[in-house]
């Protein structure tokens, strides 16, 4: 079974670990003919607890979404200059956005840790959550891989 037409989704957060995941996914797509999509998730934190997701007026939300899209575009360009990869901004907790993306993906690629990693952890909480709940195979790329 070939990879023609397969979708590879890559979680991006701007960290060095997600840059490694982007590079790995770009190499995989080039080798197999799969199509890539870089996804960056964001949300407003709620005032009551970090687990809830807040909302803001639509004009503010659109401005922030555009800034997040620029951050994603820059992260992709820095990691894989000139590569043809779709880019999508998702609203919500990163693990939930990536799990939703995994329903249509053939492979989900993540860095082993992101910006909010605790020192010494081998796999970040978003990666671990995706590994255990994704609807497709998951590759976790370790730093320097």
| Cβ atoms within 10 Å, residue 34 | 19
Contact 11, 94 (CB under 8 A): yes
DSSP 8-state code for residue 92: S
What pLDDT does residue 115 have? 47
Per-residue pLDDT of the chain (145 residues; tens, 9 = 90+): 445 589 999 999 988 899 999 999 999 999 999 999 999 998 776 555 554 455 555 666 778 889 999 999 999 999 999 888 999 999 888 999 999 999 999 999 999 875 444 444 445 688 888 999 999 999 999 876 5
CA distance 2 to 114: 31
Query: Going by CATH, does the domain composed of 7-141 fall within 3.40.50.620?
Result: yes
Q: What is the spatial distance between Cα 112 and Cα 125, in angstroms, rounded to a whole number?
A: 9
Which among 94, 97, 72 is positioned nearest to 19, based on CA atoms?
Answer: 72
Q: pTM of the predicted model, to two decimals?
A: 0.82
Q: Are strands 35-42 and 138-141 parallel, antiparallel or unpaired?
A: unpaired
Sequence ranges of the domains in the chain: 7-141
Provide the pLDDT for residue 143. 73
Integer Cα distance of 19 and 28 in angstroms: 14
């Amino acid at each position: 079974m070939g990879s023609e037409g397969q979708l590879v989704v890559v979680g991006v957060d701007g960290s060095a670990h997600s840059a490694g995941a982007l590079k790995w996914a770009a190499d995989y797509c080039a080798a197999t003919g799969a199509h890539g999509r870089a996804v960056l998730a964001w949300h407003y934190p709620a005032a009551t607890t970090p687990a809830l997701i807040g909302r803001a007026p639509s004009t503010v939300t659109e401005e922030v979404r555009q800034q997040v899209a620029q951050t994603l575009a820059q992260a992709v360009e820095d990691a894989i200059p000139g590569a043809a990869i779709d880019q999508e901004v998702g609203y919500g907790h990163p693990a939930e956005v990536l799990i939703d993306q995994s329903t249509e993906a053939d492979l989900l690629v993540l860095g082993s840790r992101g910006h909010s990693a605790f020192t010494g952890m081998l796999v970040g909480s978003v990666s671990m959550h995706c590994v255990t709940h994704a609807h497709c195979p998951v590759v976790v790329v370790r730093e320097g891989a």
